[in-house]
Structure formats: structure tokens, C-alpha cells
């Protein structure tokens, strides 16, 4: 007898193919039957009127530490996500030094040095979702060169290469950069290229938060494409956007560049989150000596350990209250004790650019959520996937449901090497989400961001029900996956 059969579901299989009505059976963690099921099962689920899709894959996350700190991963499983790609923007929890804080955005205490050690600890914590690792440039550069503002010496570059190689041997899917951040921004293209070359024999990917996402967006796309072609690796452009009003609309030009490169044989894909604000560590966006006044106008405080009462507020309102200028308020926050831990939200993007991204068939969905639950995180942490399905598919008809799901599942798995996932076919892992297409919607807002979405009924991870009608079952069957391995 099978473990579970889901009957009469509207199956959207993840490939982009038209929906059909049918049953799906699972046993021992895998999908064993698709179509009409004749076998009985221990658990029967009536899915009449509901959509059954492969579990969503959040390809752009900073959940490296969250898998240990919040193994129930409620903000992801409640969106229908069954896997997350960690180590983005050049920040990864590996490599690390035992007993020290990791050099990703979570800064958890490491009990490991490499991906094998991290995998062991994460799987022991029983995470609700699976994870795939990218090894981050900022992390390995910090480990080998500290905060040095120069090119690496040969020995340093060699050691960085070894970190990338070890991560790939242990099952990472590729190498990531965050070239807008310190210390990544101190690197020349040559250094990044040398490290990207290391993933080529593994057929891994180069995922990049590019050097610039505003006035020099197009030049930054050129650099990313150039690294991809010279290293002979596939490129993933992270959270594709054009920040700053004078740059709005530019994403069409960068998508055209991508199309041209693909026509020439390059392998290039992108991800996007469906919001007009970004978020990240505030210290990374400002020069404390001379904070950019234009950017300061657009800042909202997400988590601010130095001044908890500022969380959720616009910086300009805080500045007005303190009777100082916005740049002075930036300095006031960043120089306070713990001020450097501040996470901010930047309201700098254009809705039209989101639509251009969502319409493009090489753009997948990635939240870029920062799981610091102490403050008021950007709502993308809780709302990304239901927001695409509700606001952009159902309400605005920007893309159809089959296409949206393909770009949350099979495309994401193919590019990031999540083998035997992302499609509802016999033999694949049973990572599945059952949702109501008429109800699915995000609820998380900038004011009240830690809210689960509507319309997600059930989520199965590796064949076990992890989420059921708003209840977290704490099954914790997630694994740290190995690139392209079953
Ligand atoms: Zn980024
Ligand atoms: Cu990111």
C-alpha cells in the first residue's frame, strides 16, 4: 500500500505543460504514480478544485543559518517552498572556522569547516525544507584576505580556488558573488573569473549579485556574461533589477543583452523577487563618512538592534523626529553599538521592471528574503511565491499559472542541479504543494511582514507532509542536496 494518494487534483506538472486532472501517489519519499491511481494508501487527500504542483524552489535565499536557527522554516514552507538555494550574493555559511561566526548574513556559530560538516549539522536539526549550496566569494575572500582592498597574491588566490573546489566536490551547485558588497567589490574581474573557472569541470553555475544594479547595470551585465563565457560556465543573474528612478526601464535592455548572449550559445538565467524594494545590511550601502543623501531618502528600517523602536519606520521620519538630516540619521544608526547589524529596506525600484522580468521565460523566482525574525523583515521573506501566483498571475494576468510554476520548479531545479525534483513524474522525489488557485495570496506587508500567506493547503517534502492547512507538522525531512545527484 502507498503512503499517500492525492485524488482529483488539477495537476500542473512543472514543465510548463497544460494542467490536467488526475491522482498522484507517493511511497517511500517518491512519486510512484501519476494519472489515475488504483492503489490504496494510508492517507487519502481529496484535491478537487485545487492545484497540485511540484514544491517551489526558492533559488535566491540567505537561509544558510536559518536552517539551523529556525528548522521549521515556517516563512518558506508556508509559501509552498520545499527547497531553498543558500549561499547567495557571495555570502555562504561555508567555508567556516569552528567556533567562529559564519561569514554569511546569519553569522551563526559554526560547528563545521566545510559543506560536509554543514550538511551533517543541518540534517541533524531536521529542517522542513531541502537546501542546495552556493559557495560565496565574499566569504572565501574574507577568510583568506580579511578586509584587504587589493588583488590577491598567487597563494591567496590558490587557497580561494581550493575552497571553491572542495565545496563543488562536496555537492555545491556553484560559486556566487556579491560584487556590490565589501570585500567582493575590491576584486577585479580577473579574480572572479579565475574562481568561476574552478566550477567549470563540475558543470556548476556562476550566480552573481552584480557589481552595479543602477547607473551601470548594463556594464555589470556585460561583466557577468563575459565571466560566464570565458570561464565556460552558466550564469545566474541574481535579483535582476534597475534601482533609482533614472534607471527604471533598463531591465528591458539587460534582458535583451541576455537574449542576445543566449542566441550566441551562452547559458544565462535570472531570478527576481516581486517587490519594488530591496533589502540588505545597511552598512553595505553607505559610506559612514559620507552617506548618500538620495539613497537615505528611500530607506526603511527592517531590523535595527540599536534602536528597536525604529523598526518598520522610514529613515526620513526618524530623522525628522530627531531634527537631523537623513544622512546624519544614517550615521547615528550605523555608529551606535550593534548599529552595523542593521538590516534596511530600500524603496528604489519600478513596478514596470518587475513585470518585464516576470514576462521573461528565463527569469525564475527567488525571494532574497533575509530571515532575521527579530525585527520587521522585508515582506518578500514570507510572501514572494504566493504574491506571484495571486497578484501577478490571477489578478493581473502578467503570466499564466503553468509558466509561473515552471519558473518556480523545473527551470529552477535544472539550473541549480536539484536532480529528480521540480516535475510531477513517476520516480521523482515527492516534493509537492497543493494550493487553492482562487485564494492564493501574500499577506505579509512592510508594516506587518511576518505573516503567512493564504491559499497554501498542504506541502510535502520528500514524501512527508510538512505543512497542512496552516499547521507546521515539524516533520523535518529536508536534506542538504548534492548537485545533480539523486
Ligand atoms: Zn544580492
Ligand atoms: Cu541576496
8 Å CB contact between 479 and 431:
no
The pLDDT tens digits for 266-297 are 999 999 999 999 999 999 999 999 999 999 99
Ligand 2 centre to CA of 24 (Å) is 35
Residues 6+ apart with CB under 8 A from 128: 71, 72, 73, 74, 76, 77, 461, 466, 467, 472, 474, 475, 476, 477, 478
- Work out whether strand 20-27 and strand 56-58 pair parallel, antiparallel, or are unpaired: unpaired
The pLDDT tens digits for 224-266 are 999 999 999 999 999 999 999 999 999 999 999 999 999 999 9
- 289 burial type by CB count under 10 A (0-12 exposed, 13-18 middle, 19+ buried): exposed
The pLDDT value given to residue 38: 81
Ligand 1 centre to CA of 218 (Å) is 17
The pLDDT value given to residue 396: 98
Find where cell 543583452 sits: 257
Find where cell 517518491 sits: 30
How many angstroms separate the CA atoms of 175 and 90, rounded? 8
Ligand 1 centre to CA of 62 (Å) is 9
The beta-strand segments (E) located in 318-435 are: 343-347, 363-365, 432-435
Ligand 2 centre to CA of 21 (Å) is 37
Ligand 2 centre to CA of 38 (Å) is 45
CATH classification number, 2-53+425-440+453-472, choose in 3.90.79.10, 3.30.70.260, 2.30.40.10, 3.40.50.11540:
2.30.40.10
Across the beta sheet with 299-303, the strand order is 277-281, 343-347, 299-303
Instruction: Using the predicted structure, report yes or no on whether residue 405 has a pLDDT greater than 90.
Output: yes
How many angstroms separate the CA atoms of 295 and 274, rounded? 21
Ligand 1 centre to CA of 32 (Å) is 38
Question: What mean pLDDT is predicted for residues 198-209?
Answer: 98
Asked whether this chain's domains 2-53+425-440+453-472 and 56-276+348-416 adopt the same fold, the reply is: no
Nearest ligand by distance to the CA of 84: 2
How many angstroms separate the CA atoms of 438 and 337, rounded? 47
Q: Give me the CATH code for the 56-276+348-416 domain, please.
A: 3.20.20.140
The pLDDT value given to residue 39: 79
8 Å CB contact between 397 and 30:
no
Ligand 1 centre to CA of 4 (Å) is 39
Nearest ligand by distance to the CA of 86: 2
Ligand 1 centre to CA of 282 (Å) is 13
How many angstroms separate the CA atoms of 340 and 346, rounded? 16
| pLDDT bucket at 108, cuts 50 / 70 / 90 | very high
Using DSSP, state whether 57 is helix, strand or coil: strand
The pLDDT value given to residue 376: 97
The pLDDT tens digits for 43-75 are 999 999 999 999 999 999 999 999 999 999 999
The pLDDT tens digits for 324-374 are 999 999 999 999 999 999 999 999 999 999 999 999 999 999 999 999 999
The pLDDT tens digits for 21-41 are 999 999 999 999 999 888 789
Question: What mean pLDDT is predicted for residues 378-395?
Answer: 98
Ligand 1 centre to CA of 424 (Å) is 31
Query: pTM for the complete prediction?
Result: 0.98
Q: How many angstroms separate the Cα of 455 from the Cα of each of 50, 329, 440?
A: 10, 40, 4
Ligand 1 centre to CA of 333 (Å) is 22
8 Å CB contact between 218 and 254:
yes
In this structure, what DSSP letter does residue 17 have?
P
Ligand 1 centre to CA of 239 (Å) is 7
The pLDDT tens digits for 456-474 are 999 999 999 999 999 999 8
What the block records as the C-alpha cell of 381 is 521573506
Find where cell 560565496 sits: 136
Ligand 1 centre to CA of 139 (Å) is 14
Percent of the chain with pLDDT over 90: 98
How many angstroms separate the CA atoms of 316 and 324, rounded? 9
The pLDDT value given to residue 37: 85
Nearest ligand by distance to the CA of 180: 1
How many angstroms separate the CA atoms of 467 and 58, rounded? 17
User: Nearest 5 degrees, angle CA 426-CA 390-CA 6?
Assistant: 30
8 Å CB contact between 485 and 171:
yes
Nearest ligand by distance to the CA of 241: 1
Instruction: Of 67, 267, 77, 64, give the one whose Cα is nearest residue 172.
Output: 64
Ligand 1 centre to CA of 371 (Å) is 14
- Work out whether strand 464-468 and strand 51-54 pair parallel, antiparallel, or are unpaired: unpaired
Using DSSP, state whether 67 is helix, strand or coil: helix
Using DSSP, state whether 4 is helix, strand or coil: strand
Ligand 1 centre to CA of 178 (Å) is 6
Q: Using DSSP, how many helices (H) and how many strands (E) does the chain show?
A: 15, 20
The structural domains of the chain, with segments of one domain joined by +, span 2-53+425-440+453-472, 56-276+348-416, 284-347
Ligand 1 centre to CA of 378 (Å) is 14
Ligand 2 centre to CA of 60 (Å) is 6
Instruction: Using the predicted structure, report yes or no on whether residue 315 has a pLDDT greater than 90.
Output: yes
Ligand 2 centre to CA of 89 (Å) is 5
How many Cβ atoms from other residues are within 10 Å of residue 124's Cβ? Answer: 12
Ligand 1 centre to CA of 138 (Å) is 12
Strand partners, 46: 7
Ligand 2 centre to CA of 62 (Å) is 6
Amino acid at each position: 500500500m502507498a503512503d499517500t494518494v492525492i485524488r482529483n487534483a488539477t495537476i500542473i506538472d512543472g514543465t510548463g505543460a497544460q494542467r490536467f486532472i488526475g491522482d498522484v501517489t507517493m511511497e517511500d519519499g517518491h512519486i510512484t504514480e501519476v494519472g489515475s491511481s488504483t492503489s490504496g494508501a494510508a492517507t487519502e487527500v481529496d484535491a478537487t478544485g485545487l492545484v497540485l504542483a511540484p514544491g517551489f524552489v526558492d533559488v535566491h535565499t540567505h537561509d544558510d543559518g536559518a536552517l539551523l536557527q529556525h528548522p521549521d522554516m515556517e516563512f518558506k514552507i508556508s509559501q509552498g517552498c520545499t527547497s531553498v538555494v543558500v549561499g547567495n550574493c557571495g555570502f555562504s555559511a561555508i567555508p567556516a572556522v569552528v567556533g567562529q561566526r559564519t561569514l554569511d548574513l546569519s553569522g551563526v556559530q559554526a560547528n563545521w569547516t566545510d559543506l560536509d560538516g554543514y550538511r551533517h549539522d543541518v540534517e541533524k536539526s531536521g529542517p522542513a525544507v531541502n537546501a542546495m549550496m552556493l559557495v560565496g566569494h565574499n566569504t572565501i575572500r574574507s577568510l583568506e584576505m580579511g578586509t584587504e582592498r587589493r588583488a590577491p597574491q598567487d597563494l591567496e588566490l590558490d587557497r580561494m580556488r581550493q575552497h571553491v573546489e572542495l565545496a563543488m566536490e562536496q555537492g555545491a551547485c556553484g560559486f556566487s558573488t556579491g560584487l556590490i558588497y565589501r570585500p567582493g567589490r575590491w576584486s577585479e574581474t580577473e579574480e572572479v573569473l579565475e574562481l568561476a573557472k574552478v566550477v567549470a569541470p563540475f558543470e556548476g553555475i556562476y550566480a552573481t549579485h552584480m557589481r552595479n544594479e543602477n547607473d551601470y547595470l548594463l556594464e555589470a551585465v556585460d561583466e557577468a556574461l563575459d565571466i560566464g563565457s570565458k570561464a565556460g560556465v552558466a550564469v545566474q543573474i541574481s535579483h535582476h533589477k534597475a534601482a533609482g528612478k533614472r534607471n527604471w526601464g533598463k531591465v528591458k535592455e539587460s534582458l535583451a543583452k541576455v537574449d542576445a548572449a543566449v542566441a550566441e550559445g551562452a547559458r544565462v538565467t535570472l531570478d527576481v523577487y516581486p517587490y519594488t524594494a530591496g533589502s540588505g545590511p545597511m552598512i553595505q550601502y553607505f559610506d559612514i563618512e559620507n552617506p548618500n543623501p538620495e539613497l537615505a531618502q528611500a530607506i526603511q528600517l527592517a531590523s535595527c538592534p540599536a534602536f528597536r523602536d525604529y523598526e518598520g519606520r522610514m529613515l526620513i521620519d526618524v530623522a525628522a523626529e530627531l531634527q537631523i538630516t537623513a544622512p546624519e540619521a544614517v550615521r547615528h544608526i550605523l555608529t551606535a553599538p550593534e548599529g552595523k547589524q542593521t538590516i534596511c529596506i530600500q524603496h528604489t525600484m519600478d513596478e514596470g521592471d518587475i513585470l518585464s522580468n516576470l514576462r521573461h521565460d528565463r527569469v525564475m523566482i527567488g525571494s532574497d528574503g533575509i530571515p532575521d525574525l527579530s525585527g520587521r523583515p522585508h515582506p518578500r521573506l514570507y510572501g514572494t511565491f504566493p504574491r506571484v501566483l495571486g497578484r501577478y498571475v490571477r489578478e493581473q494576468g502578467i503570466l499564466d499559472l503553468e509558466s509561473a510554476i515552471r519558473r518556480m520548479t523545473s527551470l529552477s531545479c535544472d539550473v541549480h542541479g536539484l536532480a529528480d525534483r521540480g516535475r510531477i513524474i513517476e520516480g521523482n522525489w515527492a516534493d509537492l504543494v497543493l494550493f487553492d488557485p482562487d485564494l492564493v495570496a501574500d499577506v505579509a506587508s512592510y508594516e506587518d511582514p511576518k505573516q503567512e500567506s493564504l491559499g497554501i493547503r498542504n506541502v510535502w517534502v520528500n514524501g512527508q507532509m510538512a505543512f497542512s492547512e496552516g499547521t507546521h507538522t515539524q516533520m523535518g525531512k529536508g536534506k542538504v542536496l548534492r548537485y545533480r545527484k539523486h
